Structure formats: structure tokens, C-alpha cells
Structure 1
Amino acid sequence: MYKKKAAIAILLFFAIVNIQAQVTFKPGLRGGLSLSTISEMHADYRPDFYFGGFGEINLTKKYALQPEITYVKQGSNNVARNYYDPVSETNKVAYQDLRLDYLSLSMINKFTFGQGFQVLFGPSLDVRLTDNLVRRKNYNDFAFNLGLGYRMPSGLAFDVRFKKGFLDILDSDYYTNDSNNHYLFGDYNTNINFQIGVSYSFDTK
């Protein structure tokens, strides 16, 4: 019994040493185009940008855990606002751009296949920094990321991501009922964001 326990302990020791020998850490930078809108409204996608940093923790040759911190500009363009004009006594439609800037904290799981093709997914906590909304339901947002990428041997990588928020970010009742801000909104307005960009991880060896 003692010999079996000793053998198991030795095997566990060498397994841990082997795992630690494979683990590497590479810091990096990422940035690119942000295309975003807000669900359940008459609006266009808003083009802007995102940039940030990350730490790539390579646990195996195929899998890495990547914490990220990213500044991303989101929102919607040409949001329809229906209002009554007392001068002409008619209903009119105006358009306004809604802007929301977030600091996004993400935990991305990254799987690599073949010669550098990658599948990326993971959650985000988005902390709102600024906006031009009149009223808000939530200052922060929880979102999920899903994407594809390709990494070159040099450390340069390209990826495309879809990020979907889960929290209702607007007080749609206010916008709907206020005579000066009568937006054509639904009741559940969430962030929708596409990111197309590049990243570079630094070799710390």
C-alpha cells in the first residue's frame, strides 16, 4: 500500500512539473474596427474602434487562457426619434447617434488548430465609461464573445469576434413616453458588437 501511494505521488509530481514546463505567458496588444448597434430599435451600425492589452497564458500547445482589458466604443447610429411638432401640428421623425464607451474585462478561451487557426470564446464584464443617453437601466453590461482567428509564427494575429450583451441598457419607457425623446424602441435593448482587428503577442523568452 505504501509503495502504491509513493508511486502515485511520484507520478503526480512529474505530471505537475511537466505541465508547469509547458505553461508560458505572453503579453500583447490588440486593436481594430468596432461595429455595433443596440437591439430592438430602428438604427444603423455604428463604426468606431477598440484597443487594449492581454496576457496569453498558454497551458498546452493547443489551449490558452487569455485575460483582456479593452477600451471599446459602441452604440447605434441614426436612431429614429418620432415626435410631435406643435408648430406644424404633424408627427415628424428625427435621427440621433447614441454613443456608449466601455472598458471591457474579458476572459477568453483560445483553442489553436492546424497551422495557426484559432477558435475564441469567453465572457466579458463591460464597465461603462461615458455615454450620451438621457436615462439608463444599467451602467455596466455582461456579454459573451465568440470568434475566429489566425495567428502567424511571428506573433501577429488576425481575428473576427461577435460580442452579445445580456443586460437591458436603456430605459425604453422613458424614451418612448417623453415627448422630446420619443425613440422607436422595443422593451429589451442590448448591445451587439462585431470586432475586426489585429493583435500582437510579445515573446518574453
Structure 2
Amino acid sequence: MKKLFLGLGLVAGTFAFAQTSPSFGLKAGLNISSISDDGYEDSKSKAGFYGGVFMNAPLSEQFSIQPEVLYSQLGSKVTRRYTGTVLGNTIDYREDAKLNLDYITVPIMFQFKATPQFYLEAGPEFGFLVSAKAKDINTTVVNGSTTNQNTNSSEDIKDNYSSFNMGAGLGLGFNFTPNFGINARYVAGFTDINKKNDGSNGTTSTNNDNNKNRNNTFQVGLSYKF
């Protein structure tokens, strides 16, 4: 909770740097997220949604600072497939697993306006885990016909993951009008998403104790300034 207040405090503190009145807006778009492959070698990217609010405070004619508060769906998916022949029958077994990590993120982007419409941006992003769930779908196909499909309901695994995430974003954007624009950004994670157990409570964590896994996200979306 203290980290959340810290992130919001940084957002509020940007008012002090503004040279002119800041503008406010909404933004939303698509996340293509993945997890670094230390212990997740067979993981693939997963699509998700992000959306929230932002404030753009000009620091000069070419520079501005833009803090945001977003709801962001991250995670990854894994597909494993096994094919073989048993008693003359071709068996195709497929497992689809999806890890859904939802965060409240607070990016603080420093923007450079290369032209009146086009800008570059970079800055830190602070994330606070809201939920973590895993879902599995197991499918068995015999001689081309599906004989069994088992879907496990979403399992809450939030206790296995760190509540805080930090990364750095690098992106660009183009404003079609003073109010409407498009933005693309890549956010590279710095912190390990796994919660480590020091053994103080008498238990041992089995969640990739020797690995460090980080969120990585490509975002593209639209923004609207009031």
C-alpha cells in the first residue's frame, strides 16, 4: 500500500513542474505481454487490454511529463503438444495453459515533441498486482476426432506472485488532432514477478525459486484529451 501511495504521490507531484495548465485524458488499447523465459522456456505472448487516465503537463515548448494510472492485463500462455501412436491409433494430446496477471500500473513518461504532432517518450512504470489466475484446457484427439476436452476453472494464484512490479517504458506517439492520438510503447520489466519465500513461516515456495521472471509488454492504443 505504501508503494501505491508513492506512485500516486509522484503523479500529483508533477503539477509542480508544469509550466502551463496540464491537460487530462483517457487512453485504452491492446497489450501483447510475455514473461522472460527463465523457467518459462515454452511460454508464448498473450493478448490483453489496458485502459485508464492520464495527465499531460508541459515543461517547455518541446518537453512534457505524462503520468498515467492504468488497468493492465499481463501474463503469458503455454501450449504443449504430444503426438504418438498407441495400438494403431494416432493420439494427439494438447495442453493450453494461460497465466493472467492484472495490474494497476502508474507509468510516468517524459515526452519530447519532435514535431507538433509526433513525440517520443521514456520513463519508469510502477505496477501493483490486482489478481493472478491460471487456467488450463486439456484436449485429447484420437484419429482426428476429439474424444476428451477438460477445462479447469481459473485458479487464484495471487499468493505466488510479488505484489509490486517495476519496469521502464520506451515509446512514440502521433496526435492526429489536439484531442485525438495514437501511441505505441514497449515496457521492459526490471523486477522478479515471483514471490520468494525465505522459510520464516516454515514452508517452502515451489514457484520458480531459482528463476527470475519479468513482465515484458508491447502496447498500442488510442488516447483522447479533454
What's the TM-score once normalised by structure 2's chain length? 0.66
Q: Tell me which residue corresponds to 1:5.
A: none
Is 1:50 aligned with 2:50? yes
Q: Tell me which residue corresponds to 2:33.
A: 36
Map Cα deviations across residues 111-149 of structure 1 (whole Å, 9 max, x no partner). Answer: 111241110111111000001264525221011110011
Count how many residue pairs are aligned between Structure 1 and Structure 2: 166
> Matched residue of 2:211: which SS?
coil
Give the aligned residue type for 2:206: Y
Q: Tell me which residue corresponds to 1:67.
A: 67
The offset of 1:192, in angstroms, is 0.5
Unaligned runs of 5+ in 2: 1-16, 82-92, 135-156, 197-204
The offset of 1:194, in angstroms, is 0.7
> Percent identity among equivalent residues?
27
Give the aligned residue type for 2:56: E
Q: Indicate conservation of the 8 Å contact 1:71/1:102, yes or no.
A: yes
Shift in CA distance, 79/119, structure 1 to aligned 2, threshold 3 Å: same
Counterparts of 1:188 and 1:75 in 2: how far apart (Å)? 15
Give the aligned residue type for 2:130: L
- How well do the aligned residues superpose, as a CA RMSD in angstroms? 2.7
Counterparts of 2:217 and 2:80 in 1: how far apart (Å)? 20
Q: Indicate conservation of the 8 Å contact 2:109/2:124, yes or no.
A: yes
Higher helix share goes to which structure?
Answer: 1
**2:162 alignment partner, one of 124, 127, 138:** 138
Map Cα deviations across residues 45-69 of structure 1 (whole Å, 9 max, x no partner). Answer: 1111100001110121211111110
The offset of 1:104, in angstroms, is 0.3
The offset of 1:166, in angstroms, is 1.1
Q: Indicate conservation of the 8 Å contact 2:194/2:208, yes or no.
A: no
Q: Tell me which residue corresponds to 2:90.
A: none
Shift in CA distance, 79/169, structure 1 to aligned 2, threshold 3 Å: farther
> Matched residue of 1:24: which SS?
coil
Q: Tell me which residue corresponds to 2:88.
A: none
Is 1:104 aligned with 2:105? yes
> Matched residue of 2:160: which SS?
coil
The runs of at least 4 aligned residues of structure 1 exceeding 3 Å deviation read 92-95
The offset of 1:93, in angstroms, is 7.7
Q: Indicate conservation of the 8 Å contact 2:160/2:207, yes or no.
A: no
Q: Tell me which residue corresponds to 1:150.
A: 174
Higher strand share goes to which structure?
Answer: 2
Q: Which region of structure 1 is more displaced relative to structure 2, 189-198 or 106-115?
A: 106-115
Unaligned runs of 5+ in 1: 1-18, 82-91, 178-185
Q: Indicate conservation of the 8 Å contact 1:63/1:112, yes or no.
A: yes
